[in-house]
Amino acid sequence: MFLFLLAQATEILELQARINTSESSVEILKKKNTVLAAELPFLQTRLRASESTVEQLRRKDAVLAGRLCNTESLIEDLMGQISEVQASNSSTVIVSEGVVLESRLKIHVDKLKANIEGNL
C-alpha cells in the first residue's frame, strides 16, 4: 500500500511538473502573441505601400509597352522609307552615271568628227 501511495505521489508530482511546464509554455506563447500583435499594424502598412508600388509599376509598364509599340511602328515605317530612298538613289545613280557616260561619249564623238574633218 505504501508503494502504491508512493507511485501515486510520484505521478502527481510529474503531472504538476507538466502543468507548470504547460503554464510556462502558455506564458511564452502569450508574450510572443503580444509581440506579433504589435508588429501587425507595421506589416499591414508595409503591405499596403508595396501594393501601391506594384500598381504604379504596372501603370508605368503599360505606358512603356504602348510607347514601345509606337516606336516599333515608327522604326518599321522608317525602314520602309529608307528602302524606298535607297531604291530611288540607286536608280538616280544609274541615271546620273548614264548621263555622264552619254556626255563623255558625245565628247569622244565630237573629237572623232573633228579628227575626221581635219583629215579630209
Q: Report how far residue 18's alpha carbon sits from residue 10's, in angstroms, rounded to the nearest whole number.
A: 12
| 3-state DSSP percent of the chain in helix, strand and coil, to 5 | 100, 0, 0
Q: Report how far residue 103's alpha carbon sits from residue 108's, in angstroms, rounded to the nearest whole number.
A: 9
Q: Report how far residue 2's alpha carbon sits from residue 38's, in angstroms, rounded to the nearest whole number.
A: 54
Convert the pLDDT of each residue in 26-75 to its tens digit.
788 899 999 999 999 999 999 999 999 999 999 999 999 999 999 999 99
pLDDT at 120 over 60: no
Q: Report how far residue 14's alpha carbon sits from residue 20's, in angstroms, rounded to the nearest whole number.
A: 10
- Helix, strand or coil, per DSSP, at residue 1: coil
Convert the pLDDT of each residue in 45-57 to its tens digit.
999 999 999 999 9
- pTM more than 0.75: no
CA angle 91/78/73 to nearest 5° reads 145
